[in-house]
Amino acid sequence: MRILKFGGTSVGSPENIQKVIAVVNARAQKENVAVVVSAVGGITNKLLQAGHLASKNDTAYISLFEEIKETHLTYTKALTQSKETYTQVEILMNDLEALLQGIFLIHELSPKTIDKLTSFGERTSSVLITAAFQEQNIPAQHKDTRDLILTDTKHTKASVYYEQTHTTIQAYFKDVQTAITVLPGFIARSETGETSTLGRGGSDFTAAIIAAALKVDALEIWTDVSGMYSANPKLVKQAQPIAHISYHEAMELSHFGAKVLYPPTIAPVMQENIPLYIKNTFDPEAIGTCISNEANGKNNPIKGISHISDIALLTLEGAGMIGISGTSKRLFETLSAVDVNIILITQASSEHSICIGVAQEDAQQAKEAIETTFAYEIAIHKIDPVIVEQDLSIIALVGERMKSHQGISGKMFSTLGKNNVNIRAIAQGASEKNISAVIASKDVKKALNSLHERFFEDQRQQLNLFIMGVGNVGGRLMAQIEQQQQYLLENLKLNLRVIGISNSRTMVFEEEGIDLSKWQALLAAGEKADGIRFRESVQSLNIRNSVFVDVTANEEVAMSYAQYLRHSIAVVACNKIACASTMENYSELKRLSKKYNASFMFETNVGAGLPIIDTLKNLIASGDRITKIQAVLSGSLNFVFNNFTSGSSFHDVVQQAKAEGYTEPDPRIDLSGVDVARKILILAREAGLQLELEDITNTPFLTQNNLESTDVSHFFETLKEDASHFETLVSDATAKGHRLKYVAQLEGDKASVGLQSVSEESPFYQLEGKDNIVLFYTERYPDQPLIIKGAGAGGDVTASGLFSDIIRLRQY
């Protein structure tokens, strides 16, 4: 014999019930079947709502009752033409109406009445489904489980008297001749003869009780998903179905919020070693999940990640608890007396405090009861008043083989830490089947996705990008990401998603990722750009592995990095302003990056896509010491002076450099030497020197007229006005066989930038186009420097440098 249970969604419409009939009929061709059914989807909630309205003397319960009645009559008409069934449903609805009227009159809704009220859902659905079988000439009979399952009088969550119940079930089914028996789940009868219930989700439990009593071949729980998943698929899109899981693992997962299975269901079938299958009514051919006592394989020791929402954490602490026996006993007895269930317990080894997790709705009652019990100790300040923290959730890693694998706790907590998920309490049983942590409810989705990625996705990592400044360079970066997305996924197991973008006018966010083939149109239709709201949106989305990418030259944006880092959001920047700001701010950003495990990457600050900063860091990390740096660090100025020849217009060459993206939007930043000064300052700081921008000697080649220009347009006018000055510079150099190069130098603790006329012997002489060159003189390279040379400006190379920094964020 086999037991099949169908949940509310499986019987959630007449069409769905036809699917149930098909599944059951196929099983009944081979063996006898007992079918346990839940109430029609949503009905139990409506029954409770109607009862609460009636108890408050609110006549709105009447319209809710009419909805319930109409639903069941509609089902009746759709499923059967039997007048007898219609009469049965009418009687049930009349009884329900009378009960609600009684609740309305006495203004009371006791647990006993709640059980009677909620029983109407399963009682009615089981009558309808039996009739639906019979309508198709499929032999089926109805049996009320209140005649089979005996419980105590703890209404709404009764305890089963197994011995008497098993005897009754075995006696009934011994004489059953019909292949299909339909039974209402969830309901039972108390020892005093009243209707009792087995708790919300109790239909699963009903099926397990019958399965254990009859020692059947298998129990099948049919629902709307294809088995248990490695995480809640509604929150974790990459969640994977679990083909096989042990009883203990399934019990842990269901206890910690895997709603596909009611936790008490497992105990009866585990005791009789009956395999339990979770199947999908809407995809009956799907494998589903098998739950048994067999070993769970040799692969991932983690079977699933689950969570419980709406948790409150209560802390009882004080010096008066240390060394005092019986404190825990008093605490737990107190909570038991007021019927508060403890979900999680953790106690410091110092015995100074005990933390317990309870349902948030029970928190106030629990606090009052505890403080009453320990009133004397609180009054004499031996124990502190109970501390209550709310809006929390519990997340749990579950796996029976975790105990034989080292480092799982470390991986769990480091993964959460990297994503700025603060852990309020931790619990791990000695069996090591479960590691639980209490976190803020707002972090649940991020925590689940981070842990799932770490333990289930074959070392695949998702980075979620928020890019500010999608102009020239930013647009090239978007194109490069779109081009390489698939390659990175297949070869580096790196899933890059762009979640938010902004330019100076508009911004747009898509939590599931922006379609990179349509980003321009989406941005054009976006909301008004605002740097503060952009940052607030990044933080409120609270997505794992978030990365802020700054492709602007904006000081206000640069000054916002600290706010991102404090929320464990990595920062990748080509904007040099932050790293060239005060030494105090530079050091603070470095400190925040370490403290919050948020990378701060700025390779493109110097040399665009060239690995200059990375090389410098590696030299220092390997024990080398920098003695001197000489460099041409401005691709913009190199382009300008390589294209500016005697007789040409300096104004036109600068205009060309701006148009081709080799200069900042304001070319004065490049031509004044400020940009190069910032770059050599950054290299000096990365080499360990504590210099400020004003410590860099900057010898300008621009005229005072140029330097005092009021805006970019005015600046270009001054270039025309002072054309002779620039002609003199280039003609003097040409006359000596020299070329003009803008050189940065660091020696000892002195740094300078300025235009130089260099001879053919100089390594800078042959530098063409927009190239940069850096010469590192170190203790290991005292005479022949380590040279890095290549394109140091341009949209594509700068974008590729940013892209490289982003890829380097991959953590494993």
Q: Where are the domains of the chain?
A: 2-223, 304-456, 461-608, 612-792
Q: Is the model more confident about 740 or about 258?
A: 740
- Residue 122's pLDDT band, with cuts at 50, 70 and 90, is very high
Q: Which of 218, 207, 185, 209 is nearest to 289 (CA)?
A: 218
First to last CA, the chain: 50
Q: Render the burial of 275-286: b for 16+ CB within 10 Å, e for the rest.
A: bbbbbbbeeeee
On the question of pLDDT at 429 being above 90, the answer is: no
Average pLDDT over residues 673-695: 95
Average pLDDT over residues 434-453: 94
The CATH H-level superfamily of 2-223 is Acetylglutamate kinase-like (3.40.1160.10)
Looking at residue 593, its amino acid is S
What's the number of CA atoms in the CB half-sphere (13 Å) around residue 143? Answer: 23
On the question of pLDDT at 81 being above 80, the answer is: yes
The catalytic position among 5, 445, 658, 679 is 679
- Residue 297's pLDDT band, with cuts at 50, 70 and 90, is low
How many angstroms separate the CA atoms of 722 and 714, rounded? 12
DSSP characters over 616-662: HHHHHHTT--EEEEEEE--HHHHHHHHH--TTS-HHHHHHHHHHTT-
- Residue 432's pLDDT band, with cuts at 50, 70 and 90, is low
Q: Render the burial of 555-581: b for 16+ CB within 10 Å, e for the rest.
A: eebbebbebbbebbbbbbbbbbbbbbb
Q: Which CATH number fits domain 612-792: 3.40.50.620, 3.30.360.10, 3.40.630.10, 3.30.70.20?
A: 3.30.360.10
pLDDT at residue number 625? 95
- Residue 459's pLDDT band, with cuts at 50, 70 and 90, is confident
Average pLDDT over residues 108-133: 97
Average pLDDT over residues 729-747: 94
Q: Are the C-beta atoms of residues 279 and 220 closer than 8 Å to each other?
A: yes
> CB 498: neighbour CB atoms within 10 A?
25
Q: Which of 432, 430, 437, 436 is nearest to 406 (CA)?
A: 432
- Residue 350's pLDDT band, with cuts at 50, 70 and 90, is low
Tell me the angle at which helices 83-106 and 111-135 cross, rounded to the nearest 10 degrees: 170
How many angstroms separate the CA atoms of 160 and 166, rounded? 10
Q: Which CATH number fits domain 304-456: 3.30.2130.10, 3.40.50.720, 3.40.50.300, 3.40.50.2300?
A: 3.30.2130.10
How many angstroms separate the CA atoms of 728 and 642, rounded? 16
Catalytic residue status for 679: yes
On the question of pLDDT at 608 being above 80, the answer is: yes
How many angstroms separate the CA atoms of 793 and 643, rounded? 15
pLDDT at residue number 770? 83
On the question of pLDDT at 403 being above 80, the answer is: no
Give me the percent of the chain exceeding a pLDDT of 70.
98
Lowest mean pLDDT among 175-184, 313-322, 555-564: 313-322
Q: Which of 423, 311, 417 is nearest to 366 (CA)?
A: 311
pLDDT at residue number 664? 80
On the question of pLDDT at 351 being above 70, the answer is: no
How many angstroms separate the CA atoms of 422 and 448, rounded? 13
- Residue 298's pLDDT band, with cuts at 50, 70 and 90, is low
Q: Are the C-beta atoms of residues 392 and 447 closer than 8 Å to each other?
A: no
Per the prediction, the chain carries an average pLDDT of 93
pLDDT at residue number 418? 87
pLDDT at residue number 352? 78
Average pLDDT over residues 194-208: 93
Q: What's the pLDDT tens digit per position in 644-660? A: 988 889 999 999 999 88
Q: Whole-structure pTM over 0.85, yes or no?
A: no
Lowest mean pLDDT among 332-346, 397-411, 770-784: 397-411
* Residue 691 Cα to chain centre, angstroms: 41
Q: What's the pLDDT tens digit per position in 228-241? A: 999 999 899 999 89
Looking at residue 145, its amino acid is T
Average pLDDT over residues 471-484: 96
Return the CATH class of domain 461-608.
alpha beta
Average pLDDT over residues 67-76: 96
pLDDT at residue number 405? 75
On the question of pLDDT at 31 being above 50, the answer is: yes
On the question of pLDDT at 812 being above 50, the answer is: no
How many angstroms separate the CA atoms of 783 and 778, rounded? 9
Q: What's the pLDDT tens digit per position in 489-529? A: 999 999 999 999 999 999 999 999 999 999 999 999 999 99
How many angstroms separate the CA atoms of 190 and 625, rounded? 83
Average pLDDT over residues 146-166: 96
- Residue 440's pLDDT band, with cuts at 50, 70 and 90, is very high
pLDDT at residue number 647? 84
Give me the percent of the chain exceeding a pLDDT of 90.
81
Q: What's the pLDDT tens digit per position in 309-347? A: 999 999 999 888 877 778 889 999 999 999 899 998 987
